[in-house]
Amino acid sequence: MSYGPSYPVETVASVYWIRSRVKAMRLTILGSGSSKGISRVGHRDALCVDARKKGSKSRRRRSSALVEQAGRRILIDVSPDFLSQMKRARVSRLDAVLLTHAHADATGGLSDLGKWIRLRRHDPVTLYAHPDTIRRLRRSFPKSIIPIPVRPFRMITIAGMNIRFIPVRHGMRGIATYGFRFGRRLFFASDMDATSPAGIKIIHGTPTIILDGAFWEYKRLRGHFSVPDTLEFAKTIRPRRLIITQSGHSFPPHNLAEAEIRRLAKQKSCPFPVKLAYDGMKIEI
Ligand SMILES: [Zn+2]
Ligand SMILES: [Zn+2]
């Protein structure tokens, strides 16, 4: 009598079943730049000159991202470049909006979002953010946006995606700021210079992390990571890959910056690949 093959066959079948239930997710970087974007009017430095070349990855709109799964779409941050970002990504419908924090580079497009919703006769859009972010912005919400306050560390299912709201530090004066963890797969934090041990515990081991790296070189307590900080922080998280976003004016042109980041990651013995985000970058998750 043999008890042999039944166990391995079932294991293979259940692995297949689990895989088939994991829906593909995609994140598109709509803006990879810091608060003023690149290029800047009247500048003749190497970065801004490169950014004006057609198709240049050095051209950076204000930070924003689109997360899609099973035909549903969540926008992270409504930047002052919102209309051009929607046009460029050919987005005509949104299921929800998440805000990282209340600074103008993350929220300056709220009235444009209101107009965009009206023009399309789009249903009102729910917007999720920290209670403090909603309080600060209470006069900026058009009627077509329904703000929903979310307490730190809560997990909510939005447009079919399980999203955990992780508080992160963005400057010592402490404006309430979130990073977002999607399922167990992705952590996105475009504005941060630290997080709490509780936050690190949750995001530890997340395979794909997209992090603030606004400053090219180390700057103490400026509200954002510098590239060396981002690499050091990512090492504590142990991801499978790191993508750096929110790149500021202190960066060299994109291709040079990416090569230099790879060199630095090697020097720091980062055991994961590192990429530099650019506008329009698509990340399959
Ligand atoms: Zn410049
Ligand atoms: Zn900010």
CATH number for 30: 3.60.15.10
Residue 43 lies in a domain: no
Domain membership of residue 259 as a residue range: 26-36+59-284
Confidence of residue 220 (pLDDT cuts 50, 70, 90): low
User: Which ligand is in closest contact with the Cα of 60?
Assistant: 1
Ligand 1 centroid to residue 50 C-alpha, Å:
10
Looking at residue 6, its pLDDT comes to: 45
Looking at residue 7, its pLDDT comes to: 44
Task: State the chain's mean pLDDT as an integer.
Answer: 93
CA 260 to chain centre: 22
Ligand 1 centroid to residue 7 C-alpha, Å:
63
User: Which ligand is in closest contact with the Cα of 222?
Assistant: 2
User: Which ligand is in closest contact with the Cα of 47?
Assistant: 1
Residue 30 lies in a domain: yes
HEC profile of the chain? CCCCCHHHHHHHHHHHHHHHHCCCEEEEEEECECCCCECCCCCCCHHHHHHCCCCCCCCECECEEEEEECCEEEEECCCCCHHHHHHHHCCCCCCEEECCCCCHHHHCCHHHHHHHHHHCCCCCEEEEECHHHHHHCCCCCCCCEEEEECCCCCEEEECCEEEEEEEEECCCCCCCEEEEEECCCEEEECCCCEECHHHHHHHCCCCEEEEECCECCCCCCCCCCEHHHHHHHHHHHCCCEEEEECECCCCCCHHHHHHHHHHHHHHCCCCCCEEECCCCCEEEC
Give 110 or 218, the one with higher predicted confidence: 110
The CA distance from 48 to 41, in Å, is 9
Confidence of residue 152 (pLDDT cuts 50, 70, 90): very high
Q: Percent of the chain beyond pLDDT 90? A: 88
Residue 42 lies in a domain: no
Average pLDDT for 43-62: 97
Looking at residue 112, its pLDDT comes to: 98
Ligand 1 centroid to residue 103 C-alpha, Å:
22
Confidence of residue 120 (pLDDT cuts 50, 70, 90): very high
Residue 209 lies in a domain: yes
Ligand 1 centroid to residue 56 C-alpha, Å:
14
Ligand 1 centroid to residue 214 C-alpha, Å:
15
pTM of the model: 0.92
Ligand 2 centroid to residue 43 C-alpha, Å:
23
Ligand 2 centroid to residue 238 C-alpha, Å:
25
Average pLDDT for 175-182: 98
Residue 122 lies in a domain: yes
Tell me how many domains the chain contains.
1
List beta partners, residue 60. 38
The CA distance from 149 to 137, in Å, is 12
